Amino acid sequence: FKKSIHYRGALNLYLYVARLFEYRKIVLLGCEMDSGIPFYEHYPEAQWMPEIENYQPSYEERLRNRYAFLYDSKGKHSLMTTILAINEYVFDPEGVELYVFNKKSLLYPTIPLYRL
């Protein structure tokens, strides 16, 4: 992690870009990781997703995988472990503050809650 952030999904890519832009405070919104169903799924703007065959697993399958973020996959660290490592080994030493916006986040309380 000291030389670059190991890719483990879109979220770490966003954190890497935030680091490149030298953001000093990052708040994770909609990153509760307590469900395989994204918060935006029922928004009108997201209704194109079910129309594309095999774009994503069925709703029922994603519900069964609701805690998949907690487990290692394909010989890699879990997404949660990766985010916590990025915070500990990259952001903390650089003085970057990482927060969650919701207590429902599985990263809370290790990653503190953002207060307005």
Q: What is the mean pLDDT of each run of 10 residues along the chain (116 residues)?
A: 58 88 94 71 71 70 64 68 90 97 91 95
Please give the pLDDT value at position 43: 77
The whole-angstrom distance between residue 96's C-alpha and the CA centroid of its chain comes to 17
What is the value of pTM for the model shown? 0.71
Q: How many CA atoms lie within 13 A of 18 on its CB side?
A: 20
Q: Hey, what amino acid is at 2?
A: K
Instruction: Give CA–CA dist 8/3, Å, rounded.
Output: 16
Please give the pLDDT value at position 106: 87
By the 10 Å C-beta count (0-12 exposed, 13-18 middle, 19+ buried), 93 is classed as: exposed
